[in-house]
A and B are shown apart, each in its own frame.
Chain A
Amino acid sequence: MGRILPFFILIAAVGLFFGYVQPTYKEEIAAQRAKIRSYDSALAAAATFREKREALIEQQNAIPQSDRTRIEGFLPDGVDNVQLIVDLNALASRSGMRLSDFNIAEAEESQGVEPGRIALDAVQAVDSLEISVTAVGTYGSFRTFLAGVEHSLRPMDLVDLQISDSETGVYNYAMTFRIYWLR
């Protein structure tokens, strides 16, 4: 018995090591540590986010409210083409032009791919619409109107223009403007 007991004790020691200590260390403990590492990583990302957010808030507050309003007018959240037509009409009146026959056509979806259109990173953030309109007026009035359109707060790209002569000095204009808004 005295000779067998140490052998059993040794078996128990080996059994305890390989039955509990080693599997617990290699599985549970390792899994727990991996989980904690992922938490650390997420917490580090959260800290980076907080720093970035504070910096962005600071940058945003540095932009005057009037400028923010202007950039929202430059690229609005919606198409609001009716207001645009009203504004175009007012500009035309001031310039001595008379507008008529407004038509709307949505631009193709491939806008971001073509060089003449808007190219953005991964997501196409801008949508566009084409408004065609006919007008009559003198050349001088047209130039005034065109300059007004080109320098308006909301960008309108004149993508198509047809001018036909008349004997009266009043020309006929068929114009297509492309307008943009943030999706």
Chain B
Amino acid sequence: MFSLFMLGLSVAGAVGIFAYGEVLKGVDRAKSAELVVAEADIDSSQVEAFIRSRDRFTSSADILDRHIELSNFFEVLESLTLVNVRFDSFGFTYLPDGTGEITLSGSARSFNALAAQSSAFSAQKEIKRAIFSGIQVAENGTVSFTVEATLDDDLLVFKEDAVAVPVAPAPAAPIESAAPATTSAPSGTLVPPSSATTSPVTPTSL
């Protein structure tokens, strides 16, 4: 009796397993067909377009965040340059670390003017490590020089709602009694904005 019971149990188990297997095969076929339909619904060109859009937006934001706006620096330079100092050459290189390196050569009417110009640069926190070198005195008393400095990226990077970079007050230019050291500005040279630190008498080149 026990043997028959065990045999019946085994046969029932075998039938159940077979039936369950068939059911699973049916489910498998149904889901496989569903997946084929889902895959067919995926448009790879559309996906690629989405990816390009994402890349375009993220990259554009990145480019904009690092967009260089050198005009900011020129505005500061115009404000900082003393009336008895002129620049006759300018070099700028944007460095991989996001800062800018500038080299300016020019002349000042006197050592005092040069010292005042140096102080003006030093007071501007966005202009770092301003080093004056190559200082030579000409026969007419003017002092030629070269200045190298590093520009902070705050001074270079484009800002959507740009606020004018605050300009540190430049020291008063030493009073010169002689004729202006700088020659009259050629057409196109900038005239420094009127401020307490600069006089509208002598335009500053560059």
Q: Which residues of A contact B (CB under 8 A)?
A: 5-7, 9-10, 12-14, 16-17, 20-21, 24-25, 28-29, 32-33, 35-36, 39-40, 42-43, 46-47, 49-50, 53, 56, 60, 71-72, 74-75, 114-121, 123, 125-126, 137-141, 143, 146-147, 150, 155, 157-171, 180, 182
**How many interface residues does chain B have, given as a range?**
35 or more
Chain B residues lying within 8 Å of A165, measured Cβ to Cβ, are 87-89, 205-206
Contact (Cβ within 8 A) B68 A157: yes
Interface residue SS majority, chain B: helix
For the complex formed, measure the closest distance between the CB of A148 and the CB atoms of chain B, giving whole angstroms. Answer: 10
Encode B176-188 as 1/0 by CB contact (under 8 A) with A. 0000000001111
Task: Say whether B136 faces chain A, with CB atoms less than 8 Å apart.
Answer: no
Contact between B94 and A7, CB atoms less than 8 A apart:
no
Annotate B18-55 by CB proximity to A: 1 below 8 A, 0 otherwise. 10110011011001101100110110001000101101
CA distance A167 to B189 in the complex (A): 11
CB of B24 within 8 A of CB of A36, answer: yes
Cβ < 8 Å to A, chain B residues 62-119: 62-64, 66-71, 74, 87-98
Stretch in contact with the other chain, from B7-15, B124-132, B138-146, B166-174: B7-15
**In the complex, what distance in Å separates the CA atom of A104 from the CA atom of B124?**
35
Which of chain A's residues has its CB closest to B43's CB?
Answer: A53
